[in-house]
């Protein structure tokens, strides 16, 4: 059975989507950017800080779904500037220190609300 996930510990969806949907065994999360749970964009924050905020949001959504970062199989990281890869990678590594999931990092032309990084 499909269930929609919502937590106040992550920013509300800014469009026609849910923070996550889940079935008995899987959780599919929406992309997360550096929005605080109250919806404030941390646009002036460093790329590392934006990465940390996006992953903190992802963690909150997963926990609300009854999961955790330890259960993640794959992460996709979108970078508005691929030159920010090293800074993003360093911050990302603090969230997945042991047995990290598979990951793709992709440079994109732009991200919602002018964010520097997004994760799914």
Let me know: does 90 contact 84? Beta carbons within 8 Å: no
d(C-alpha 16, C-alpha 30), whole Å: 11
Average per-residue pLDDT for the chain? 95
Instruction: Give the SS3 label for residue 92.
Output: helix
Domains of the chain: 3-119 (3.30.1330.40)
Residues 7-14 have a mean pLDDT of: 94
pTM attached to this predicted model: 0.94
Percent of the residues in the chain that have a pLDDT greater than 70, as a whole number: 100
Provide the pLDDT for residue 41: 92
- Quickly list H helices, 31-109: 47-64, 85-93
d(C-alpha 57, C-alpha 59), whole Å: 5
Q: Is the pLDDT of residue 14 over 90?
A: no
């Amino acid at each position: 059975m499909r269930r929609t996930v919502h937590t106040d510990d992550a920013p509300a969806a800014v469009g026609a989507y849910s923070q996550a949907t889940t079935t008995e065994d899987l959780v599919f999360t929406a992309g997360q950017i550096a929005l605080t749970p109250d919806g404030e964009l941390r646009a002036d924050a460093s790329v590392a800080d934006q990465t940390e905020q996006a992953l903190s949001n992802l963690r909150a959504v997963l926990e609300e779904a009854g999961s955790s970062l330890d259960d993640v199989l794959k992460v996709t990281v979108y970078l508005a500037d691929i030159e920010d890869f090293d800074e993003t990678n360093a911050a990302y590594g603090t969230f997945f220190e042991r047995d990290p999931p598979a990951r793709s990092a992709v440079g994109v032309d732009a991200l919602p609300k002018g964010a520097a990084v997004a994760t799914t």
